Amino acid sequence: MDTSEAIHPDRVGPIIVQEAWGTIGKALALEHMNGVYVCRGERASLAFVFLSEKMFRMKLFMGKDLDLSTTVAVLPRENEPLEATVEETDSAWKLSSGRLVLEIEKKSSALSVFDLEERLVARQNNISWNPRGAIHSVYDMPGDSHFYGLGEKASFLDKRGERYTMWNTDVYAPHMPEIEALYESIPLLIHMHGSSSYGIFLDNPGRTDFDMRSHGIAYTIGCSTGDYDIYFVYGPDLKEVVRDYTGLTGRIALPPKWALGYHQSRYSYMDQNEVLHLARTFREKEIPCDVIYLDIHYMDEYRVFTFDPVRFPDPEAMMSELKALGIRIVPIVDPGVKKDPKYAVYRQGVEKGHFSRKLEGDLFFGDVWPGTSAFPDFTDDTASEWWGNLHKYYTDLGIPGIWNDMNEPAVFNSSKTMDLDVMHGNNGNPKTHEELHNLYGMLMSKATYEGLKRNMDGQRPFVLTRAGYSGIQRYAAVWTGDNRSFWEHMALAMPMVLNMGLSGLAFAGPDIGGFAHHTSAELLVRWTQMGVLFPYCRNHSSIGTLRQEPWSFGPEIESILREYIGLRYRWMPHLYNLFHEASENGLPPMRPLILEYQDDPNVTNLCDQFLVGSDVLAAPIYRPDTEHRAVYLPEGEWIDYWTGEVIQGGRHILAHAPLSIMPLYIKSGAVIAEGGIKLYADDRTDETLTLRVYGAKARPGFKASYSLYEDDGSSFDYVSGVSSLIRFELRGGEDELELSYRYERRGYAANRNLLRFALVCTAFKPSEIEGLNELTEDEADHGQEGWYIDTQTGGLTIQVQDMSQGAVFKLKG
């Protein structure tokens, strides 16, 4: 006999339920209280807060209570919100903040944002919601719209025509154009049209979506749970959007210099001997390397905070030999803690209540590497602090960095993650995992970063993470997860990491050479050539794949790789400078051309070439058996890095690039700070510095300038002023040049006596430099002050004592 279940609604076939989507309806009143403007609508209200002249927050709320707390993504505000000027007309309220006018239409509650020239910047036509809490908003998408940001996504740079979901997901084979959700969720959409741009950041760590595909002349932003809480960040320059968005959610912590070096990883270096052998090989072969990673096999049956006693019988001995070689270890730490009552971390976690649990009190268990595992509840500060402190286990061994993997969190089950009904403690404001999912990985890395920092005696920690949410940049570098050794994935790493850079993730990069599948000699060369100019530079590969350490394909390949890795180290002062800039203003070291040439229609979706800083243009070869490619050089004069040839920009050229060449161009007038090549970045025995100026011209109007930031590259002393800032300038006159440098601040004493200025790719030859002698090569080698023409580059080199008071030199033609 059947029961009534026979007519269960789910069984009787599709019933079409007309979903009742609600809207705000008319805007009835505008109230102002404590810097918050509340627009009361028929069925819901909108709260507006002006955070600056060109940035405001808008939150939808129902009922009476307005909660203006934020997620941890948003930094605490130091300034009071701005007062706007309010004007009411028959049809609208207009709120002006100084740079923007926000218009709320009374009849529909639609919202328009205008600039001071009364040009429409953005328009939100509609917000609606369904009874289950999903919210959906519709924005204008003019014909000339381009979209950027959105963090870690596959496909091209410009996201017009795409649709994405924000839901941190461990997909194996993830880097496909149709994949909507990856490991990281950065719900920041940057919209550029006409000559202006703005960003919309939806601060909601639940599932959110951005659709620039399905609605013709509109794009939509939605969330399936939680708040519709957006930040509108006006440019008009893309750079300003990036600067202000990172002002809101934070910028990268200045990394230790060693973290900018070359990193070597493998799933897994299986034992202590293999690790030591690897380190020695790097040194014997004189290939620079700063870090070796330990993947999951270092642990005792995948218990985090342990070493396997057989494979790694003496971690102390291993660490001390590595230290002598200048190589650091970064071990993997996953969030899953093995369910094992004899294992201290598990026991403590249970006893102290630090693991994630259901509302009813049961722990949530999921299967990961160690088998059944519990997962810390990082939303509670006490649990995070506990977790952070556990890292003393590593710091005591001299381990300064941690690699957080599987922190989406990834779980081996059908949902691929933690049960959505897990009830996170959230510091006394409990929320479901469904609502907080995208925060899990970030909170883990935050706990890790802070724990390391507490235990590192003033040294800067390094954390690498796979999962994250807006703000993750404050705690960790991000790698792009399990790519494969496909040429397509090499190419795709460019737009992916470029958009990550526009989304605050300035310190990011892919597994060089590809993680899964088998690399080839050629792919490894091409990928490394490209990868050494990415912010984060690690070669990593999966178990069972062909080896891809730099020497895996014989001496010829090895020497090309050595040269490119060496280039990264030679450019380290410049790179570090760019990272410092990123930590101050959020601009990423690796940039899409559109960031520097926003008015150039040729670069709106250009992403098979990129800039390092503003003046170095790399155009990697990303197809097999290919020695030529088209390169677009934007306006201005460019110099081929390899040949010194001067090329007029504003056009496409055909570059010739045999295997040992990655096309590389330097903007004329650019300056690059270089050091000597070292085997590890943190080697401070000789901090030689050369400021290399490209394409100097002895004529009025020419000017090259550069500011170089320096500090010890490893401690937090810079916070209290132990750093230097050198300002350098080269000005052209009638057949002469004036070179000057000056310390704007000299709190850090670099280990060098000489400063070198090298003028390369220039027609200028001095007849005389006031106060300096022309040197023989021998005198130059012995560190005398003076100038000489470098026989190799044909360039002019001037070397002088590095003086606190700076100096000025007149170069006569």
Q: Which residues belong to the active site?
A: 405, 408, 482
Q: Using the minimum distance from each CB to ligand MIG, give the nearer residue, 269 or 706.
A: 269
Q: Extract the tokens encoding 511.
A: 């597994």
- 282, 264 in Cβ contact below 8 A? yes
Q: Using the minimum distance from each CB to ligand MIG, give the nearer residue, 134 or 537.
A: 537
In the complex, the smallest distance separating the C-beta of residue 301 from ligand MIG, rounded to whole angstroms, is: 14
In the complex, the smallest distance separating the C-beta of residue 268 from ligand MIG, rounded to whole angstroms, is: 7
Interatomic CA distance for residues 161 and 212, integer angstroms: 5
Q: Does 405 bind ligand MIG (CB under 6 A)?
A: yes
**CA–centroid distance for 691 within its chain:** 27
Interatomic CA distance for residues 749 and 319, integer angstroms: 29
Q: Does 377 bind ligand MIG (CB under 6 A)?
A: no
User: From start to end of 135-212, where are the E strands?
Assistant: 135-140, 146-149, 163-166, 184-185, 188-193, 196-202, 208-211
Q: Give the sheet arrangement for strand 477-479, strand by strand.
A: 508-509, 477-479, 462-465, 401-404, 328-333, 291-294, 263-264, 538-539, 511-512
Query: What's phi and psi for 591, nearest 5 deg?
Result: -130, 140
Q: Extract the tokens encoding 756.
A: 């070198």
With CB under 6 A, what is the number of residues at the site for ligand MIG?
A: 11
List binders of ligand MIG among 209-228 (CB under 6 A): none
Q: Extract the tokens encoding 140.
A: 């204008």
Distances (CA, A) of 695 to 728, 788, 796: 16, 17, 11
In the complex, the smallest distance separating the C-beta of residue 218 from ligand MIG, rounded to whole angstroms, is: 36
Interatomic CA distance for residues 748 and 573, integer angstroms: 14
Q: Using the minimum distance from each CB to ligand MIG, give the nearer residue, 332 or 607.
A: 332
In the complex, the smallest distance separating the C-beta of residue 265 from ligand MIG, rounded to whole angstroms, is: 7
Q: Does 481 bind ligand MIG (CB under 6 A)?
A: yes
List binders of ligand MIG among 255-314 (CB under 6 A): 267, 295-296
In the complex, the smallest distance separating the C-beta of residue 648 from ligand MIG, rounded to whole angstroms, is: 44
DSSP conformation class of 81: P
Q: Extract the tokens encoding 655.
A: 């570059």
Interatomic CA distance for residues 52 and 100, integer angstroms: 10
Residue spans of alpha helices (H) in 427-509: 433-436, 440-454, 487-502
Backbone region of residue 692 per phi and psi (left: phi > 0; alpha: psi in -120 to 50; beta: other values)? beta
Give the contact letters, 488-507, x = binds to ligand MIG (CB under 6 A), - = no: --------------------
Interatomic CA distance for residues 266 and 635, integer angstroms: 42
| Member of 332, 374, 603, 780 binding ligand MIG (CB under 6 A) | 332
In the complex, the smallest distance separating the C-beta of residue 155 from ligand MIG, rounded to whole angstroms, is: 20
Q: Using the minimum distance from each CB to ligand MIG, give the nearer residue, 210 or 369.
A: 369
Q: Does 408 bind ligand MIG (CB under 6 A)?
A: no
In the complex, the smallest distance separating the C-beta of residue 368 from ligand MIG, rounded to whole angstroms, is: 9
User: Of how many residues is the chain composed?
Assistant: 813
Q: Using the minimum distance from each CB to ligand MIG, give the nearer residue, 92 or 464.
A: 464
| Member of 158, 211, 482, 683 binding ligand MIG (CB under 6 A) | 482
Q: For residue 440, with 0-12 CB atoms within 10 Å meaning exposed, 13-18 middle and 19 or more buried, which class applies? A: buried
Q: Using the minimum distance from each CB to ligand MIG, give the nearer residue, 70 or 445.
A: 445
Residue type, 394: Y
Q: Does 512 bind ligand MIG (CB under 6 A)?
A: no
List binders of ligand MIG among 575-594 (CB under 6 A): none
Q: Using the minimum distance from each CB to ligand MIG, give the nearer residue, 267 or 748.
A: 267
Q: Which residues bind ligand MIG (CB under 6 A)?
A: 267, 295-296, 332, 405-406, 466, 481-482, 515, 540
